[in-house]
A and B are shown apart, each in its own frame.
Chain A
Amino acid sequence: MARAPKKKPLTTTQKRYQEKVRKLQPRPTLFRNAILAFITGGIVCVIGQFITDLYKMLLGLSSAEAGNPAVATMIFIGALLTGLGVFDNLAKYAGAGLAVPVTGFANSVVSSALEFKREGLVLGVGSKMFMLAGSVITFGVVTAFFIGLIYAIFIY
């Protein structure tokens, strides 16, 4: 663990100013943002469900088996929308509704890869691709490692 940074105590002027900023700061339109995220997030998941059912019907897969190609398809859609420059304009309204489903994961990978293509395929695209999505993978894997370890040692 990194050493916790030393916290400098705030001066009275700083404290007073921060109180003022908090009081006057314009608030996000909470209700509107929440509703938009709910609706768009819901729609993305319904599309995902539809694609899952489609794979089930067309390829005769079980629900669990159809999940993987459905996720890949959603990632493809997110990547395409990002490449076309549409995703960021949609996300202005949808917020977490597009960011939380796998479409958002795709967007964070693809937008980073795209943005750094001018710095070259190896040093740009290759190494910057996971600069935003990396934390999701890291924390997911570390969590899964410890939970798996607990299972391996204590339960089996």
Chain B
Amino acid sequence: MGKKVGKQTFVIDTQPAIINTATVVGPFEGKGPLKEYFDHIYTDNLAGELSFEKAEKEMMLNACFTALTKAGKTPQEIDLFLAGDLLNQIITSGFSALELTIPFLGLYGACSTSAEGLAIASMIIESGCASNILVATSSHNSSAERQYRYPTEYGSHKKPFSQRTVTGAGAAIVSKEGNGPKITHVTIGKVEDLACKDPLNLGAAMAPAAASTLVQHFADTGRGPEYYDLIVSGDLGKFGHQLAIELAISQGGFDLSKNFKDCGLMLYDLEKQDVHAGASGCASSAVVTYGYLYKKLLDGTYKRLLLTATGALHSPISCQQGENIPSIAHSVSIEMI
């Protein structure tokens, strides 16, 4: 039976497996260095749909159905569908669930959803209530841009620390039984606020959450950073990544400089693609971990992976009313056992 260790970490005794995953990305992401690891690359931002929101739903559905097909499962064999995205009222997830016809629980953790989904899925399986859970998350550059920032055709100058919201979706099937990387520990984060206010500088706003959850994970489990082959954050970007490394040293004395990477820095070619500080959005950590890193776990490149996805829990309204940007991070240990 699962138990809580330390303050925020839960040991998952049944060690559910991620039996299969699927990722789809937009055309811009398909030009990046990880293009071979995605199941489908769209040639059109609209994915053949009539609006960016509908395109995002098409992407999430495509990822879900591809994952089901690859795992050889039908929607009827899945007990629960856990999904979240960035749009108001998480419409992408709700409308996808309508077509999947799997019992659905909506998640909102902003860009931390990829880790939140895996964490909740493994805890539900640990409880014995369910044996197969489909988790999914998505983001779309244009639908996020028009909701959080400006109309997509508005000409604005980007700051060097701004990040590009990823167009894409990722889905993973977590099962009680089956082969694949196992989820062994999850650390659920607390909401942090170090008084960042700039919605264009989310890396700086989220770095404190990443550092705090990582430090707590190491303290709770007694594992140090060196236990893992790779520790990966979701979308801190160049500047946030650097801040998280410094915070982990100053808050807990943990040296992350050797094996700490950021999905937001792996997805794009920062030199050639005009993305400023890197990638952001729910799909950033989802397509990199469910796509690239999942395959690297299967082929043995990595044996122990710690996914720490961060999310900024603000809205345009909270920012305009002068509130700080609160942030959260969840860690999931994924190990080949």
Contact = CB atoms under 8 A, between A and B. Distances in A.
A and B touch in the complex (CB under 8 A): yes
Interface string B221-247: 000000000000000001100110011
A107 interface: yes
A98 B155 contact: yes
Contacts of A137: none
A52 interface: no
Contacts of A98: 155
Interface stretch (B16-24, B64-72, B112-120, B146-154): B146-154
B178 interface: no
A110 B274 contact: no
Interface string A78-96: 0000110101101110111
Interface in A70-116: 82-83, 85, 87-88, 90-92, 94-96, 98-99, 104, 107-108, 110-112, 114-116
Contacts of B321: 5
A140 B146 CA distance: 26
Interface residues of A, number: 40
B157 A132 contact: no
A73 B255 CA distance: 60
A83 B243 CA distance: 40
Interface in A1-40: 5, 10, 13-15, 17-18, 20-21, 24-29, 33
A111 B277 contact: no
A88 B152 contact: yes
A98 B193 CA distance: 36
Interface residues of B, number: 32
A10 B161 CA distance: 23
A33 B157 CA distance: 9
A21 B322 contact: no
A21 B155 contact: no
A5 B204 CA distance: 24
A134 B157 CA distance: 20
A87 B155 contact: yes
A79 to B, nearest CB: 11
Interface stretch (B194-202, B286-294, B304-312): B194-202
Given A24-B239, A28-B160, A115 B153 contact: yes
Contacts of A21: 196, 201, 204, 243
Interface in B158-203: 158-161, 193-196, 201
Contact of B204 (A25, A33, A112, A132): A25
A126 B154 CA distance: 17
B155 A25 contact: no
Interface string B243-282: 1001100000000000000000000000000100100000
Nearest 3 A/B pairs, CB to CB: A91-B155, A115-B151, A111-B153
